[in-house]
């Protein structure tokens, strides 16, 4: 049985989100706002179909995909760069590779105990965020 990410998750901690945003080229003013946010994620998972909605008081972002199927991602409201993205299982983790202008871009989600983890990668920067069930 693969991991079940379904549910609503609230951010409780964040490490090096600043470094990740700098690597993505997010401007200073936007970074100052973004690092104060406590986003909420709603995961809907049905077999290999996922939607991940990330909402905050400032901006929100929705991504929908099927495991193993490449899709065009527009990152609208984030860095607005387009990339070709694909998400695969790695054991109980879901690993997204975002191919585009930025090297080594992607993310990984996994569940550890009662917590949802998100590792965000861009170039040489890694940010780790932890979420708890709402
Ligand atoms: C943009 C860069 C902050 C910073 C400015 C806007 C959406 C996996 C994946 C969903 C993400 C997290 C997005 C972080 C981009 C920061 C607005 C923050 C709220 O999550 O869950 O595809 O990519």
Whether the CB of 95 sits within 6 Å of ligand 1: no
Q: What is the pLDDT of residues 61-108, one digit of tens each?
A: 999 999 999 999 999 999 999 999 999 999 999 999 999 999 999 999
Neighbours of 33 (CB within 10 A): 13
Tell the CATH topology of 7-129: Lipocalin (2.40.128)
pLDDT tens profile 13-47: 999 999 999 999 999 999 999 999 999 999 999 99
Q: From CA 58, how far away is CA 65, in angstroms rounded? A: 24
pLDDT band at 2 (very low <50, low <70, confident <90, very high): confident
Specify whether the CB–CB gap between 127 and 14 falls below 8 A: yes
Q: Which of 17, 34, 60 to mutate to test the pocket of ligand 1 (most atoms within 8 A of CB)?
A: 34
121: phi then psi, degrees, rounded to nearest 5 = -125, 140
Torsion of CA 38, 99, 122, 59, to 10 degrees: -20
Ligand 1, atom 17, residue with closest C-alpha: 59
- Ligand 1 atom closest to residue 61's alpha carbon, by position in its atom list: 7
- For this complex, say whether ipTM is above 0.90: yes
Helix (H) or strand (E) holding 130: strand 125-133
């Amino acid at each position: 049985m693969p991991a079940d990410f379904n549910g609503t998750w609230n951010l409780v901690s964040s490490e090096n989100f600043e470094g990740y945003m700098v690597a993505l080229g997010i401007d200073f003013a936007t970074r100052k706002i973004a690092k104060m946010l406590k986003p909420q994620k709603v995961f809907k998972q049905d077999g290999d179909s996922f939607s991940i909605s990330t909402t905050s008081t400032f901006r929100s972002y929705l991504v929908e995909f099927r495991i193993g199927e490449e899709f065009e991602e527009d990152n609208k409201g984030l860095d607005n760069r387009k990339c070709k993205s694909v998400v695969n299982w790695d054991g109980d983790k879901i690993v997204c590779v975002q191919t585009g202008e930025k090297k080594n871009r992607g993310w990984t989600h996994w569940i550890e105990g009662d917590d949802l983890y998100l590792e965000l990668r861009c170039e040489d920067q890694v940010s780790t965020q932890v979420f708890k069930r709402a």
